[in-house]
Chains A and B, each alone.
Chain A
Amino acid sequence: MADVALQPDSVGAAQPVRKRSGLKKALKRKSTAAFLMTLPLIILIALLVLYPAFYSLHLATLNKSMQRFVGLGNFEFLFKRDTFWLVVKQSCIFAITAVLFKALIGFIVAHFVHNIPAKGQRKWRGMLLVPWVIPPAMSTLAWLWLFDPSYSAFNYTLSFFGIGPIPWTGDADWARFSVILVNVWYGAPFFMIMYLASLKSVPEQLYEAAAIDGANWWQRIWYVTLPMMRNIIAITTLFSLIVTFANFDIVRILTAGGPLDHTHIFATWAFRIGIEGSDIPLGASVSLFMVPILAVAAIFILRDVNKRGNEA
């Protein structure tokens, strides 16, 4: 968009006048006006996001009593602890596995919903969104009861088949499975609704052209649907990766990081150390560790989106 410039003042204007007109010019520019209009929001974001971010950077450099500057001492301490590396590993497993299954299930369900005749579709869409709209703190409580080892619905049902009882949250592997399961249950509807919107925007004639070109259903998905949905898939995955990586409530309520720290992820462990263990600088250091991991993922995914942005 071209900037709107002020008409030049009369020829031979004196130096101070020209200076003032320069300021006037700047004010008249669309980019200046746009900046001024977004300034309140920029200030708000600065206060609510940047200030805490820099404050946590500052905190991470202090000792436990927050009296002394220790530089990178907290990070050095973390790197030497096995639990930290366990948390790094678990966070990665948790986020990647959960996002993968959310994306897969969301994609499949979106296809089913897309193929439901328009009349019944709204009803199904609404019902399938339910897990996503219930506050996770509440729905996770329901899951907690379902997972109870002695009198839960799951183990009771399985007992009819001679299976169990399964220690859903008591055994390390089962506990990891359970938190991922609940996270997938909670997050898949978001993928479903994003993919459904994206599916609806793929022109029907592309599928018809592909059908005539000789593509079977799988080739239609591979050569038409997936490339057309690529950007949405990338952005949804990135967004979900960030949210899942930073997840707190599901793990906190379901296992509280147990058994023996085997389901801790960054946020729950930072909470355990920082708030419950009263070492806020160390907790801040743990949570800061998410930033470089997510930044690398974001750069890779967004670079791909930019590259393909001007195709469709």
Chain B
Amino acid sequence: MADVALRKVVKRYDDVEAVRGIDLDIADHEFIVLVGPSGCGKSTTLRMIAGLEDITDGDIMIGGDVVNDVPPKDRDIAMVFQNYALYPHMTVAENMSFGLRLKHYPKAEIKSRVTEAARLLDITDLIDRKPKQLSGGQRQRVAMGRAIVRNPKVFLFDEPLSNLDAKLRVQMRIEIKKVHQKVRTTTVYVTHDQVEAMTLADRVVVMNKGRIEQIGTPNELYHRPATRFVAGFIGSPAMNFLPCRLEDSGGTLQIRLTDRIAFALPPARAARYNSLPRTDKLLLGLRPEHLTEAHAHLGPGIETFDTVLDVTEPMGMETLVYFGLDGTPVCGRVDPNAGAKDGAPMRLAMDLNNMHLLNEATGVVL
């Protein structure tokens, strides 16, 4: 087991820069998830750590050693691929033991490692089958087994759950977490699914256009996003962004959303935003759960307004409501018993204690 470090790593294909100088420190035993939209450079980064792609510039270190020119087989890593990449002509046991056999491990040790990994992943009964005879979830377990038996310094996962159906994906997500809790191997996991990222990671690395947007624990990213990209990417349904501006009214700082709607900011927020120029074009970032039905007793910093709902989506434990504010589509989350109906008027409450304020031009959260 080992820590992994990336220092100003760049990957350039001809004239396209896929990864633009990223720095990342991954601690020993840590579970790191690289997340971002397709083409953001997350898979390229993983493949550079694996040694499947050369790096154009910078350094990659595993366990303190620079491995820039070390071939994949000598990096002591194991990788799980999106399409499993199991050898179709080998049985499950042969697939799992292939790496150990190449390294001429004693037969008894290979057998005990394979048996142990198969037990851990609950695939003991499948050990003599060929990949063709396995379901998608079982193949994924075998692919993980192949990684585990090697007992490598680092596990690399390249969108391992993308080929599974939704139900199986949730199940395997939990399996992966359980396995990591048992083996505690440093893990780098790539996904485009922010739910996977949030649920699995010790720390999440959000990437966009070849750069790291933000690194943090799932809760940090959710509650304190650094940029509009992170704020919009993490969380489902996504955060609402409403054009707004700050104005002073009778000694208090207020935020104006439309000609009709303006709210006084709670004192803590007012103090934080007071120094901002009043002329800046700003965005109010508000998660759907902070836009709820209005109750009779409103706490401090909670403001109400009336609107007409466009569409409602009953989800069972909550109902998502969609409406427009000056042409900007907005999503809120209300109680299923709050009486939200398509096309009906409704009084909603905005929790400004949980608001974010963003600079519209730079996308930075202020």
Contacts and interface: CB of A to CB of B under 8 A. Distances in A.
A228 interface: yes
Interface in B114-156: 130, 132, 146, 150
Contact of B77 (A203, A212, A215): A212
Main secondary structure of the interface of B (DSSP, over half): loop
Nearest to A207: B85
A214 to B, nearest CB: 4
B88 A212 contact: no
A211 B88 CA distance: 16
Interface string A219-234: 1000110011010000
A133 B81 CA distance: 42
A202 to B, nearest CB: 10
B171 to A, nearest CB: 24
B37 interface: no
Interface in A201-217: 203, 205-206, 208-216
A209 B85 contact: yes
B71 interface: yes
A213 B99 contact: yes
Contact of B102 (A206, A214, A227, A311): A214
A205 B83 contact: yes
A35 B150 CA distance: 55
Interface residues of B, number: 24
B85 A208 contact: yes
B89 A228 contact: yes
A211 B87 contact: no
Contacts of B150: 213
Interface residues of A, number: 22
A230 B88 CA distance: 12
Contacts of B132: 310-312
A308 interface: yes
A44 B96 CA distance: 52
A212 B89 CA distance: 18
Contacts of B51: 211-212
A219 B78 contact: no
Contact of B98 (A205, A208, A213, A228): A213
Interface in A174-213: 203, 205-206, 208-213
Interface string B15-55: 00000000000000000000000000000000000111000
Interface string A285-312: 0000000000000000000000010111
B365 interface: no
A215 B73 contact: yes
Contact of A205 (B71, B85, B103, B130): B85
Given A213-B73, A213-B102, A215-B73, A311 B130 contact: yes
Contacts of A214: 73, 99, 102-103
Contact of B87 (A208, A224, A308, A310): A224
A211 B89 contact: no
Contacts of B83: 203, 205
Nearest to B50: A212
Contact of A206 (B71, B73, B78, B87): B87
B35 to A, nearest CB: 21
A227 B89 contact: yes
Nearest to B132: A311
A212 B150 CA distance: 10
Given A310-B132, A311-B130, A212 B72 contact: yes
Contacts of B99: 212-214
A45 B139 CA distance: 45
Given A205-B81, A208-B81, A209-B81, A312 B89 contact: yes
Contacts of B102: 213-215, 219
Given A205-B83, A208-B52, A308 B89 contact: yes
A212 B85 CA distance: 12
Given A212-B79, A216-B73, A310-B132, A223 B88 contact: no
Contacts of A224: 87
A290 to B, nearest CB: 33
B47 to A, nearest CB: 8
A219 to B, nearest CB: 6
Contacts of B146: 209, 213
A228 B88 CA distance: 8
Nearest to A205: B85
B99 to A, nearest CB: 4
A212 B100 CA distance: 11
A213 B94 CA distance: 12
A224 B89 CA distance: 9
Contacts of B50: 208, 212
A312 B99 CA distance: 21
Nearest to A224: B87
Contacts of B52: 208, 211-212
Contacts of A223: 87, 98
B73 A212 contact: yes
10 contacts: A208-B81, A208-B85, A209-B81, A211-B73, A213-B73, A215-B102, A219-B102, A223-B87, A308-B89, A311-B88
Which 9 residue pairs of A and B lie closest in terms of their CB atoms, listed nearest first?
A: A213-B99, A205-B85, A214-B73, A209-B85, A227-B89, A214-B102, A211-B72, A312-B88, A212-B72
Given A209-B85, A212-B52, A212-B99, 15 more contacts: A205-B83, A206-B85, A208-B72, A209-B146, A211-B51, A212-B50, A212-B51, A212-B79, A214-B103, A215-B73, A216-B73, A227-B89, A228-B88, A312-B88, A312-B132
Interface of B: 50-52, 71-73, 77-79, 81, 83, 85-89, 98-99, 102-103, 130, 132, 146, 150
